[in-house]
Amino acid sequence: MRTPRSEDDILALLAEHFPVLHPDLLVGRGDDCAVLRPGGPLAVTCDVFVEDVHFRRRYFSAADIGHKALAVNLSDVASAGARPTGFMLGLTLTGREDETWLHGLAEGMAALARRWGVGLAGGDLARAAGLHLCVTAWGELPADLVHGLRRARAREGDVVFMLGSPGLARVGLSLLEAAVGPDEAAAVRAAWPAACAAHVRPEPLVAEGMVAARLAARDPDRFSLMDVSDGLARDIPRLLGGHGAVLELPSDFLPDEVRRYADERGLDAASFAFEGGEDYALAGTCPPGLWDDVARALPSARRLGVVAGREIILNGCRRSGGGFDHFA
């Protein structure tokens, strides 16, 4: 398959996967600016996705890259309780990507966009030494929650809860990074399917975020939610805004592949999961009186513990530090 010869070639290829018209756009791609049709306040987020920092082509397919670049942004939109409606794509290519690869990238992203009804409003193209994607996404907030779900709303005694699979993506990342060559990476994917999928194809919890928003509207100043992407060890303190918590992460809450990985290596599974990153889960707090409603509306939500004091206590042990930081 040939390599695109111009920006117009790439734009035409993208147009095969992303319609120009969308119900949430007054003006779509093709002009200097798109014009949005917001029905209310918008929650907006931006994430960069850089080769050899966030992904490696030796074990990410083009479709995996496209999917995850959009998924990590939709996870942020979900954490605000918004309905995702659109996104922009800044795409920097090396010039070595042929049309087959670009179709894979576009379709991986477009399939996720179609699932949630999200339109590509525009973006930019460039050529550089490294591949990277910059996605800006937005979503419409409920009329009764115009500031969205936010961090740092917790009070002493509130319930701390989580949706998602802590530690699973960390297992996938660890194993795929250690794989030498495509055959070994394929064997890892076959032996650890859930963990590898959690790393290369995370599923944003969009529906769960919108349900949480409906619950939060009853007491918006006491309900908090955030995306967990840097690991619970780093994100729980951000969620709590200076408060501490007494948390329990029992073995039966952890995915099978996390327990298996930890057992085979003599690791404490709870600590491994708590310190991991790339989960793209949701963590939140709510008043004790609202927890039963949260548990009924979100059956996959698991209670981790309660807001208490100024320190983070996990399974009876004081915790500090851990998680992921690009600059640490």
Residues of the chain with pLDDT under 70: 1, 323-325, 327-328
pLDDT value for 62:
98
265-271, long-range: CB within 8 Å, 24+ apart, which pairs? 269/167, 270/314, 270/315, 271/314
pLDDT value for 327:
63
Q: Cβ-count burial of 304 within 10 angstroms (0-12 exposed, 13-18 middle, 19+ buried)? A: buried
234-239, long-range: CB within 8 Å, 24+ apart, which pairs? 234/277, 234/322, 234/323, 234/324, 234/325, 235/283, 235/323, 236/160, 236/283, 236/312, 237/312, 238/151, 238/152, 239/151, 239/152, 239/154, 239/160, 239/283, 239/284, 239/285
Question: d(Cα 244, Cα 155) in Å, to the nearest integer?
Answer: 10
pLDDT value for 4:
84
| Prediction pTM value | 0.96
Beta strand segments in the chain, E: 25-27, 35-36, 42-50, 83-93, 119-127, 132-140, 159-163, 224-228, 245-247, 281-286, 302-307, 312-314, 317-319
Q: Cβ-count burial of 108 within 10 angstroms (0-12 exposed, 13-18 middle, 19+ buried)? A: buried
User: Alpha carbon 327 to chain centroid distance?
Assistant: 20
Q: Which position has the token pair 């659109």?
A: 86
| DSSP output for 186-253 | HHHHHHSHHHHHHHHS----HHHHHHHHHHHTTSTTS-EEEEE-S-HHHHHHHHHTT--EEE---GGG
User: Which pair of structure tokens corresponds to residue 51?
Assistant: 């080769």
Question: d(Cα 149, Cα 223) in Å, to the nearest integer?
Answer: 7
User: Which pair of structure tokens corresponds to residue 144?
Assistant: 């009764």
Question: d(Cα 25, Cα 122) in Å, to the nearest integer?
Answer: 11
Question: d(Cα 49, Cα 34) in Å, to the nearest integer?
Answer: 23
pLDDT value for 263:
97
* Residues across the chain: 328
Domains and CATH numbers, the chain: 7-140 (3.30.1330.10), 159-319 (3.90.650.10)
- Cβ atoms of 283 and 195 closer than 8 Å: no
pLDDT tens figures, 127-142: 999 999 999 999 999 9
Q: What are residue 140's DSSP bridge partners?
A: 42, 83
pLDDT value for 139:
98
Q: Which residues of 268-281 are buried (b: 16+ CB within 10 A; e: fewer)?
A: ebbbbbbbbbbbbb
Question: d(Cα 55, Cα 63) in Å, to the nearest integer?
Answer: 12
3-state secondary structure of 14: helix
